[in-house]
Structure 1
């Protein structure tokens, strides 16, 4: 019988010194190839059965799965100095994986639509845990392009930069939600009662005292906006709201009403940067915006908001909507204002706010001071009457 010869490349036994040597200098030689060194396969009985998946109740969205890596945080250009031109709009990403999970539908119960525009819708939504109602603004059409996304990001950042202010709609949160190849934007806003457009439609003509009170509070809001080097570019009765405070605008005294400015979708930054190209509603557009496309770099960009605010007040006092074109449209921009039922000093104020040349219009700070000093007597009388009414109650 021939002797048995062992031809194994790996010895049957290695001393501890040899094992240490091979681990340090020959790591590949420590790989065991024999079947006996491998772990035996567990029997079918030893294998654990997979747990059944939990089936959520009908109508309830699945539990969210968060990303392991946090999304990038874009820089807010409205929170930097006006002379810093290194900031750019960046596209932030949602912190949620793509799927059928919606933070909005998970956290909020949508009750009713409050209004809509060309690009957005606003819903009254109640937070499921706290029961507090908010105004949730979202886009009407899916966000498919970077330009559309930057427009929503611009509104989020501009509105966040001016917080908090008693005459600006409060912003509590903002986020994007992915959905296939598109995105959905959400802004969690302060819930207001109605806009001045609603008041205008209901009353037909707003009283002079109410308009003066609105002008004073809007001048305070514009002062805050212009101090940051921003321009709103979309001031009109549709974007001026009444706060929910138990009061509604009526033909009586307007004392106690709080007006708030909203919709910063067209806001322009300190260096004139903007995400969109629209100049705003033509009915409230200043004449210099019709003459040149470079109206934001003229040095009087803030006077665009002053003209628009004056035009909005003129419409409320006039009792009918302003024209979009025609001879009357150009007469208004030439300083021809006719309000026979309004006092002369209010007409003079509107003519100053809507002066054809932007340098002849007051700044927001000067307008606020003018309304506080020269129109404070009537306002204090309204305040005293309101306090007396509250005392009697």
Structure 2
């Protein structure tokens, strides 16, 4: 940045409102430009800032700057100062918002700026703690009562007439009407200094998005405790004929007392269409967050009901347990379509110990058709109570508006998370609105206006063109034992197959294989063309009369896996997943499935597979998930085949006999984003190889030879990325 910083950009910088790249440009310029350093005095009363400027002035006059050290902590504090450091000056405000043409190239986004003032009505603004589409949130103090509160300020210059202002008023009204232990409480609202504001109770703790980022997946008990409280609060909301419409981890706050609070009712609407509040909703606007949005919500927010919140809470439950969202695609629109079209992943795929009661609760909450879902939050609470009472770990205090008395586990969970969270943090395309006028930047691709209009049109008008034969399933939750499976995430879930009808020959092959598999101790999943996926089938009598494809085969009965047995599968054309885990396997067995090019998931953990046996999978070019954990016969030599599987996104090598040499063979698998090398001989020598996995998001290294310094180096490297999160276990 050669030219001086514009007033507008400098003010945004002091308000900490710039993206990371622009912030670094401004910081670098301020370190070198005495003129811009001097201009900061207009906006700040900070003595340390003046000290820093004097230090640089002495440096300019020939003094050795090393004799005037200024710590990075101090610089960070100065350069991230918030609105409390800005003088309340009308002339300064007018000057600061004047555009500067020579700096327009580095203003990457145009958002309304928070009013540069320190006092709103009776409230002293302390620091900004979050910003969303409608408002900016400050930690504040009541000037007379000296009580700490949170103040949400409307982020809109034309505040008197806009729909955005009306939505803000709606949030005031909604929060003011609700009084429940699991919903954030409003304490005041009003208008001051040409804007409107909402005051809420100050919560000491962290939102679940922050906790997940720092801690990773939660324990089953903790996740159920959180889910129960959230469901209870939402039932209270639904009882008032309201729908939240934006349930996600960042809108659920866990206090240091272990209590869950539902945040952000800015998108909430009346359950009955045609209401005055619902009229505020733009029909060209998709409201909600793409990762958690129910299929029907993407089509029309006018006709949704409480079951959309149930779907969103189900997606949140999945993330609490696994650390990942159930559907993740490259763009928001593709993610929304995946919610409608792709099969719901199983919790057991990543969490083998999950009780079936909870597996089926999630599956019921995440049904595509609202009529097939569990129908009320009260039912969700009832099922969770059944599980928690069985665990006998958490006491329940039942009242008319019940909520869970949290265990020490949740309190400690929150206390371990050291970052103060932004109340409305919205990053990584989790914004609550997608309008035709927006432009979304994601994974370095820009979805321009035309794309949003076209794809929104597809969602609202054209997505129904696929005619489906809905298979009637029993949505009543069953109780049984946990489903054993691999811990790995299912990165790409198969779509319900909209292929042309089966030929009679292929239909016979599929049915023959299904019958054979069920006779040989397997469980299978099938898909009817143009229809829905069937539940897991364990007996031949459960097979339908209509034609079907075999999608998943799991060898559940312990048996020797031979080439002869697997050759029975060779005629399948749409086999997606093959589970051979915990069964001994012969070296030549996998040669029989080398032609199954549709295969995407292969589970070989604890099978005794050898390097030679693994070599037969080289032709499975569409493989995305591979589990080899607990196979001591897999060495570095065996990993050579991994280099040929370019679509691999999830790889489990835990407790194999590999070392640094083996990681050389996977460093060029650029799509890998989930890797487990726990209990291996991999050391710090492999840090350089791991850094080449540019999409890596989850890395498990516990029990390996990687040192604490190596873990920190890996963590620091991947945390610098702006567009992807990163989780490493153990944490540095």
Match of 1:220 in 2: 232
1:145 aligned counterpart, secondary structure:
coil
The residue aligned with 1:356 is 368
Q: Which structure 2 residues correspond to residues 1-393 of structure 1 after superposition, within 5 A?
A: 104-142=119-157, 143-162=159-178, 164-177=179-192, 179=194, 184-192=195-203, 193-245=205-257, 257-272=258-273, 273=275, 274=278, 275-277=280-282, 278-290=286-298, 292-293=299-300, 296-297=302-303, 301-321=305-325, 322-323=327-328, 324=332, 325=334, 329-330=338-339, 334-338=343-347, 339-341=349-351, 342-345=353-356, 346-362=358-374, 363-378=376-391, 380-381=393-394, 386=408
Measure, in 2, the Cα distance between the counterparts of 1:330 and 1:271.
24
Q: 2:218, 2:320 within 8 Å by CA — same for their partners in 1?
A: yes
Q: Could you report, residue by residue, the CA deviation over 1:184-215 in whole angstroms, capped at 9, with x for unpaired residues? A: 22111111221101101111222221110111
With over 3 angstroms needed to count, the CA separation of the structure-2 counterparts of 1:103 and 1:326, relative to structure 1, is closer
1: CA distance, partners of 2:292 / 2:366: 10
**Which of 1 and 2 has higher RCO (CA within 8 Å, sep 6+)?**
1
Q: CA RMSD in A?
A: 3.1
1:147–1:106 distance in 2 versus 1, CA, 3 Å:
closer
Aligned partner of residue 287 in structure 2, secondary structure: coil
* CA displacement, residues 341-392 of structure 1 (integer Å, 9 cap, x when unaligned): 25033222111111111122221111112211233232635879749x99xx
- Structure 2 stretches of 5 or more lacking a match? 1-86, 90-114, 396-404, 413-732
Q: How far is the alpha carbon of 1:173 from its aligned partner?
A: 1.0
1:227 & 1:327 partners in 2: Cα distance? 28
TM-score by length of 1: 0.62
The CA distance in 2 between the partners of 1:307 and 1:241, in whole Å, is 19
Distance 1:167 1:313 in 2: 17
Q: TM-score, normalised by structure 2?
A: 0.35
Cα distance change on mapping 1:344 and 1:185 into 2, 3 Å: same
Q: Deviations over 1:145-200 (max 9, x none)?
A: 331221111111111222x1000001111112352xxxx22111111221101101
1:340 is displaced (CA, Å) by 2.5
How many angstroms apart in 2 are the aligned matches of 1:107 and 1:327? 43
2:134–2:164 Cα contact (<8 Å) kept = no
C-alpha distance in structure 1 between counterparts of 2:341 and 2:322, whole Å: 12
SS in 2 for 1:312: helix
Assess if the C-alpha contact under 8 Å between 2:237 and 2:243 holds in 1. yes
Return the alpha-carbon distance in structure 1 between the equivalents of residues 291 and 215 of structure 2: 20
Q: Distance in 2 between matches of 1:351 and 1:239?
A: 22
The CA deviation at 1:135 is 0.8
- CA–CA distance in structure 2, aligned partners of residues 121 and 220 of structure 1: 28
Count of matched residue pairs: 272
Q: In 1, Cα distance between the equivalents of 2:128 and 2:335?
A: 35
Distance 1:237 1:385, change over 3 A: closer
Aligned partners of 2:390 and 2:255: how far apart in 1?
A: 24
- Asked if the contact 2:121–2:192 (Cα under 8 Å) also holds between the matched residues in 1, the reply is no
CA pair 286-113 structure 1, distance change in 2 beyond 3 A? same
Shift of 1:126: 1.2
Contact 1:287 1:333 in 2 (8 A): no
Q: Tell me, yes or no, if the aligned pair for 2:308 and 2:370 is still in contact at 8 Å.
A: yes
For residues 290-316 of structure 1, give each alpha carbon's deviation from its aligned partner in whole angstroms, at most 9, with x where no partner exists. 3x32x5436xx1100000001011122
Q: Residue 191 of structure 1 contacts residue 243 of structure 1 at CA under 8 Å; is this kept in 2?
A: no
199-208 vs 140-149, which moves further: 140-149
**CA offsets 1:8-52 (integer angstroms, 9 cap, x no match):** xxxxxxxxxxxxxxxxxxxxxxxxxxxxxxxxxxxxxxxxxxxxx
Q: By how many angstroms is 1:335 displaced?
A: 2.8
Task: Please state whether the residue corresponding to 1:152 is helix, strand or coil.
Answer: helix
Q: Secondary structure at the match of 1:111?
A: strand
Q: 1:281 to 1:239 in 2, by over 3 A?
A: same
Unaligned runs of 5+ in 1: 1-58, 62-99, 246-256
8 Å contact kept, 2:248–2:313: yes
SS at match of 2:247: coil
The 1:149/1:318 distance shift into structure 2, 3 A limit, reads: same
Contact 1:333 1:354 in 2 (8 A): no
| SS in structure 1 of the partner of residue 243 of structure 2 | coil
